[in-house]
Amino acid sequence: MNLIAGLLVTVIAALHVYILVLEMFLWTTPRAMKAFGTTPELAAQTKVMAGNQGLYNGFLAAGLFWGLLIHSPSVQLFFLACVAIAGLYGAATANKRILFIQTAPAVIAILAVLLVR
C-alpha cells in the first residue's frame, strides 16, 4: 500500500472517531455545539439522535481501520465511498461545509487508493 494513501485513510478514520466522540459523548458541550452549530436547547433535544449518528460514524471509522489492518484496498474503497456519500447527503441536507470536511477528503483518498492498485 502506498504510504500517502494509507495516511489519508488513517486521517479520515481518525476524523470519524473524533466525530463519534463529539456526537456520542460531547454533544451538549460548547465544543460540539460550536462544531455543529446547535444551541443548548437543541443539543439537549437531539442528544439521543446525535449519539446514534456518532455510532454510525464509528462504524465508518472501524471499517476504514479494518481495511488498513488487512491491507484491503477494496474494503478501504467501500468505506471511503460510504463516507463520501454520507458527506454528499449531509452537505445537501444539513450544512454545505460537510462537502469540504467529509466528502472532498474521502474522494481524494479514493483517488490515492485507486492510484496504487
Domain positions in the chain: 3-115
Q: What is the DSSP letter of 100?
A: I
The cell for 72 is 484491503
Residue 3 contacts residue 74 (beta carbons within 8 Å): no
Report pLDDT for 1.
60
| pTM, to two decimals | 0.92
* Residue 14 confidence class, pLDDT cut points 50, 70, 90: very high
Report pLDDT for 31.
97
**Nearest one of 83, 86, 76, 81 to 113, comparing CA atoms:** 76
Mean pLDDT of the chain: 96
- List for the chain the helix, strand, coil content (%; round to 5): 85, 0, 15
Report pLDDT for 116.
81
**Nearest one of 67, 58, 60 to 113, comparing CA atoms:** 67
Cα distance between residue 29 and residue 57, in whole Å: 19
